[in-house]
């Protein structure tokens, strides 16, 4: 049986992260892993995409940052409501705080030193602005820096340094076909 996984992510940084770090893990269980950026799409287009995925009986994950929501449950409810209940809350992954925290979580002390960063003990509270202020001047752009981070990224280290990444990765490594993100 041909199995597909669709991962809906907010933007380019999320797509790059999932393409490099998560796709290889999912490809163990799936014949095809499609990563789709939804930030530029209208709500109607997102709903249409989700309905087509569901019509194919394909699996999917909907990934979003917690943003200003007070908790994961509130963020999920807001997304379910805004997407006219086409998203299954159990298929949502909420990143706390932002994807940039997941990027930095995967760096061990040696990698931090190579990138001219101070080592991180935890990255749960990293924001886009924090991340931007940490980029060493030797990098021509944010994109170049992120690419270098991903070259050194360790799933095991990230699971130790970021709680939402740990929660997510522990579930997909166990059995991506039975994933439910109830938290």
pTM higher than 0.85, yes or no? yes
Cβ proximity of 33 and 5 under 8 Å: yes
Give residue 181's pLDDT: 55
Q: What 8-state DSSP symbol labels residue 65?
A: E
170: which residues sit within 8 A by CB, 6+ positions away? 159
Q: Give the model's pLDDT for residue 176.
A: 55
pLDDT at 64: 96
pLDDT score at 174:
75
**pLDDT for position 177:** 55
- The predicted pLDDT at position 48 comes to 98
3-state secondary structure 47-84: HHHHHHHHHCCCEEEEEEECCCCCCHHHHHHHHHHHCC
Query: Which residue stretches of the chain have pLDDT < 70?
Result: 175-183
Cis preceding-peptide flag for 44 (omega within 30 of 0): no
- Report the SS3 class of residue 110: helix
- Sign of the Cα torsion 83, 24, 12, 152 reads positive
Domain ranges of the chain: 4-95, 100-158
Can you give the pLDDT at residue 173? 81
- Give the pLDDT confidence score for residue 183 in this predicted structure: 40
pLDDT of residue 179: 57
């Amino acid at each position: 049986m041909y199995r597909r996984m669709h991962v809906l992510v907010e933007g380019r940084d999320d797509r790059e992260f999932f393409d490099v770090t998560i796709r290889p893990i999912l490809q163990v269980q799936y014949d095809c892993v499609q990563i789709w950026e939804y930030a530029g799409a209208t709500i109607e287009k997102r709903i249409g995409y989700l309905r087509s995925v569901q019509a194919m009986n394909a699996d999917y994950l909907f990934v979003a940052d917690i943003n200003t929501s007070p908790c994961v449950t509130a963020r999920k409810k807001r997304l379910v409501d805004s997407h006219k209940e086409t998203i299954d809350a159990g298929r949502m992954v909420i990143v706390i705080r932002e994807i940039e925290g997941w990027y930095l979580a995967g760096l061990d002390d040696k990698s931090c030193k190579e990138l001219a960063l101070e080592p991180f003990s935890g990255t749960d509270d990293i924001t886009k602005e924090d991340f931007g202020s940490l980029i060493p001047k030797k990098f021509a752009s944010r994109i170049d820096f992120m690419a270098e981070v991903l070259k050194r990224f360790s799933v095991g280290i990230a699971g130790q340094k970021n709680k939402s990444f740990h929660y997510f990765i522990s579930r997909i490594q166990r059995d991506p076909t039975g994933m439910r993100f109830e938290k």
